[in-house]
Structure 1
Amino acid sequence: MLTRIASTIAPRFDGVFSTETVHRYVHESYHLLVRDAVDGSHLPLLAERFARERLIALAQTQGLSGRTVPEVLFVCTRNAGRSQMAAALLARHAGSRVHIRTAGTAPAAHLDTVVVRALAEIGLDPAEEFPKPLTDEVVRAADVVITMGCGDACPVYHGKRYQDWLLDEPENASIERVRRIRDHIDERVRGLLAELTEPAPGLRQN
């Protein structure tokens, strides 16, 4: 199964990474998702998507792939609530002007159902998203890293912009509370997009 997945992905990175590197990333991505108890019925598909995204990030960090828009990484603990809401909201406002990734320092098995409901209420469908563990190459590939309650678990690299957003935790919260968190995140996302469009001193430089 993993060999088939790697063979599917490999042509995308022909001339960029060796077949061995692609296979290694597929196997590693699969086992990272297994470790974090992602829904087993969709695991092969999710492992393929996760490995592809990691390889794209790796190519960017090594200067093997160009980029035309800012890369934003949202990191929270479970990657099931706050970071997913932020990603969905930024994607709505930014469109193709920003590339967005998310990750969690201790990923959940699936997105929070109340968070999914709160996003659906405003016409956003995160059905294609899933909690992903934080990996080194996605941090290195990011221009801006937004952390949300994960403390020092996210590695800090010199030359990147970081901001820590103080947000309530939506896990096990009522729909009313999650709506408030969603709207707060929407305000922060709009401010972030303005900073990316016209850089301002609001982001901490490390």
Structure 2
Amino acid sequence: MSETPVRFGFVCVQNAGRSQMSAAFAERERQRRDLENRVEILTGGTMPADEVHPEVVEAMRERGVDLSGRVPREVSDEELDECDVVATMGCSTLELDASVDVRDWDLDDPHGQDVERVREIRDEIETRVSDLFDEFFPDG
């Protein structure tokens, strides 16, 4: 008997900062907790930027995560409707299926912020992602 994976979505307008950090931390948590077959991760934006913000790439590099090769992508409502939880970053007006648990994390945009502020946002995201995994997988 195989379980249907839990699907987490991380969305912001440009998919170039907060949602990219969220997805990267979720991927790391999934691996750390040995949940590769139990968690799917989706990230995207409603109006994607051309690249991940350089200050975000740098802040994540400090955590041993390389975002330099990632490209922001557009995400559809249909993709998000397949998620169990969609975390928005404080900039979304999504209208998704009622079965989707939409959570607005209401985080400042790191784009153009000084390095200290970007680190604060990064650390807040890391905590929220870990808490999300704890909620869905309390034993692992």
TM range (shorter): 0.7 to 0.9
Contiguous gaps of at least 5 residues in structure 2: none
Residue 89 (structure 2) aligns with: 148
- Measured in 1, the distance between the counterparts of 2:101 and 2:8 equals 10
Residue 77 (structure 1) aligns with: 13
Residue 15 (structure 1) aligns with: none
2:54 to 113, 130, 137: 113
2:41 to 100, 122, 129: 100
Contiguous gaps of at least 5 residues in structure 1: 1-65, 199-206
Give the aligned residue type for 2:133. Answer: L
Aligned length: 132
Q: Matched residue of 1:151: which SS?
A: coil
Asked if 1:185 corresponds to 2:125, the answer is yes
Q: Give the percent of matched residue pairs that are identical in Structure 1 and Structure 2.
A: 42
- Measured in 2, the distance between the counterparts of 1:113 and 1:133 equals 19
TM-score scaled by length of structure 2 = 0.87
- Measured in 1, the distance between the counterparts of 2:96 and 2:126 equals 25
- Measured in 2, the distance between the counterparts of 1:108 and 1:67 equals 35
Larger CA Rg, structure 1 vs 2: 1
Residue 112 (structure 2) aligns with: 172
* Richer in helix (by share): 1
Q: Once superposed, which parts of structure 1, at least 4 consecutive aligned residues long, lie more than 6 Å away? A: none
Deviation at 1:67, TM superposition (A): 6.8
2:22 to 76, 79, 86: 86
2:97 to 148, 157, 161: 157
- Measured in 2, the distance between the counterparts of 1:71 and 1:197 equals 13
Deviation at 1:136, TM superposition (A): 2.5
Higher RCO (CA-CA < 8 Å; seq separation 6+): 2
In 2 relative to 1, CA 99–128 (structure 1 residues): closer, same or farther, beyond 3 Å? farther
* Richer in strand (by share): 2
